[in-house]
A and B are shown apart, each in its own frame.
Chain A
Amino acid sequence: MSDQAFVTIKNAAKSYGQLEVLKDINLTVQRGQIVAIIGPSGSGKSTLLRAINELDPLTSGEVWLEDVQINRKLPHRQYEAHVNQVRQDIGMVFQHFNLFPHLTVRGNITLAPRMLKGLTEAEANKLAEEQLAKVGLSEKIDEYPSRLSGGQKQRVAIARALAMKPKVMLFDEATSALDPELVEEVNLVMRQLAEEHMTMIIVTHEMDFAASVCDRVLFMDKGVVVEEGPPSVIFQNPANERTRNFLRKHLSR
């Protein structure tokens, strides 16, 4: 393994009974790299992303974050403790935000740092203020999520993930559930993270965004990585017929 490898996926496979959703996938992401995973729905891209933090554990294969194997086979109790630990280093942002509706924005952001990192109330509040300022929502700190627009919710969800100071951020179609006019504000936050060299793995349907932000693009179909390369190659000059077909449909929209 190269010393720069940050997230490593080796021979990843996953099946539900007879149905193989991931077939022998290998991926290495370096520190500070931004990788987009594109592909038709059902291609396994979300499943792959969710395998990285053990939300959908692989059937076989390995996932590493630096020198820690995330999907270690351990007895139940140790496995739970291990997974809870490594997840603190992996931020995840979901299509449907998954903010906690019973907590204010502040409560959403401070819950995990207070419980898991033992921050005092004052420290956690300062952290929440910093993270919210970063996503441009300082004035919403005492609102409940139900009072926020979709774009604002997603920015809070990003702030919540960042408050754990993760080493890598996973985005699972972060803008797919948003009204078109709200997409840009979320993209802006993600661009900002890119400029700060946050390591990111992004499952997306937004080709323009992937082309402008990512260092590498993976095209997946039917559980395999069909093609991967820099966005200039994948989007302008794809080698594979399936990639070309997919992009034709998506770029002509």
Chain B
Amino acid sequence: MGLDFSVVPGYLGVLAMGAGWTMAITICAGVLSFFGGIVFAVIALYGHWSVRLPVRAFAFLFMGTPLLLQLFLIYFGLIQIGIDLPAFVAGVIGLGLHFAVYNSELIQASILAVDKGQYEGARTLGLSRGQTLRRVVIPQAVRAVIPPMGNNMIALLKDSALVSVIGVMELTLAAQQAISRTYRPFEFYLAAAFCYYVVNLALEAGLRHLERRIAASR
């Protein structure tokens, strides 16, 4: 039997809903990973050891274990200690923290690369250390890190498929549901792949636009 894509249109609504959830989870986890990355980076570089060491250990754990396992731990594991998160929230937290750790590594390197003269320029005006970091150093570090962080965001979008295993009705799970009704895995997985590809193209275009916009201010 050959491919028959004529079954796909009937499930476009399901797929579109799935793509919507995929985008929602990517955006939420992306925002969390961005701000989380900045917070982790600042703690790793400037935090008191009593905060820095736990954050280091946490980062090491998140980098050294599979994301899938982390999602299981957050969704199924935490229930045992009384924290019952909705699947969507668990997915956002898992993906967001996982990528925050990777973003943090980029931001740390970028903060250290900001010219010493920038600190001196700000401090001689009377800005405190914290004010200098917030208003002068971190904005520059973040601008420099947008292109590599964009790569992380694209990886995040693709890895969002993993949250299907904890039951978030995103694109991959939506495709699976269509398959379980039609027994047409090839068509629906291809359709889902095509959707991921289109969303990724849009994300990349957005990132390029952002890079162009900040080019003058670097």
Spell out A's residues near B (CB within 8 Å).
53, 55, 80, 84-85, 87-88, 90-92, 94, 96-104, 111-112, 115-116, 144, 146-147, 157, 160-161, 164
- Taking CB atoms and an 8 Å cut-off, the chain B residues in 115-152 that contact chain A are 115, 117-118, 120-129, 131, 135-136, 139-140, 143
Chain A residues lying within 8 Å of B118, measured Cβ to Cβ, are 98, 100
Interface string of B96-116 (1 = CB under 8 A from A): 000000000000000000010
Chain A nearest Cβ from B137, distance in angstroms: 10
Q: Within the assembled complex, what's the spacing in Å between the Cα atoms of A55 and B218?
A: 25
Report the minimum CB–CB distance from A92 to chain B (whole Å).
4
Return the chain B residue nearest A86 by Cβ: B126
23 pairs, CB–CB < 8 Å, chain A vs chain B: A53-B124, A55-B124, A80-B128, A85-B126, A87-B124, A88-B126, A90-B124, A91-B124, A94-B120, A98-B117, A100-B118, A101-B140, A101-B218, A102-B136, A102-B218, A103-B217, A112-B125, A112-B127, A115-B135, A116-B126, A146-B218, A157-B121, A161-B125
**B81 — which chain A residues lie within 8 A by C-beta?**
none
Q: Determine whether B69 belongs to the interface, using a CB cutoff of 8 Å to chain A.
A: no
Taking CB atoms, residues of chain A closer than 8 Å to B140 are 100-102
CB pair A99–B121 under 8 Å, yes or no, is yes
> Number of residues in B with C-beta < 8 Å to the partner?
23
Given contacts A94-B117, A102-B143, A146-B218, contact A87 B122 (CB under 8 A): no
Give B contacts to A, CB under 8 Å.
115, 117-118, 120-129, 131, 135-136, 139-140, 143, 214, 216-218
- On whether the beta carbons of B124 and A111 are closer than 8 Å, the reply is no
Docked pose: A39 CA to B103 CA in angstroms: 47
Which residues of chain A come closer than 8 Å to B128, judged between CB atoms?
Answer: 80, 84
Which of A88, A100, A157 has the most chain B CB within a 10 Å cutoff?
A: A100
A98 to B143, CA, bound (A): 17
Given contacts A90-B124, A112-B125, 17 further A-B contacts (CB under 8 A): A55-B124, A80-B129, A87-B123, A94-B120, A94-B121, A102-B140, A102-B214, A112-B122, A112-B126, A112-B127, A116-B125, A116-B126, A116-B127, A144-B217, A146-B218, A161-B124, A164-B126
Chain A's nearest CB lies how many Å from the CB of B149? 16
Q: Is the CB of A100 within 8 A of B126?
A: no
Q: Which residue of A lies closest to B216 (CB)?
A: A144
**Is the Cβ of B117 less than 8 Å from the Cβ of A111?**
no
Q: Is the CB of A160 within 8 A of B125?
A: yes
A53 vs B122: C-alpha distance in the bound complex, in angstroms? 13
A55 touches B135 (CB 8 A): no
Residues in chain A near residue B125, CB distance under 8 A: 87-88, 111-112, 116, 160-161, 164
Q: Using Cβ atoms and an 8 Å threshold, which residues of chain B touch A94?
A: 117, 120-121
Which 4 pairs, one residue from A and one from B, show the smallest C-beta to C-beta distance?
A98-B121, A88-B126, A112-B125, A98-B117
Closest to B117 in A: A98
Q: Which single residue of chain B is at the shortest CB-CB distance from A116?
A: B126
Whether B131 lies near A115 (C-beta < 8 A) is: yes
Choose one: A80, A91, A101, A112; the contact of B217 (CB below 8 Å): A101
User: What is the minimal beta-carbon distance from A115 to any residue of chain B, in angstroms?
Assistant: 6
Residues in B whose Cβ lies below 8 Å from that of A116:
125-127
Please measure, in the bound complex, the distance between the C-alpha atom of A102 and the C-alpha atom of B143, giving whole angstroms: 8
Q: Complex: how many Å from CA A144 to CA B143?
A: 14
With A146-B218, A147-B216 given, is the CB distance from A96 to B117 under 8 Å? Answer: yes
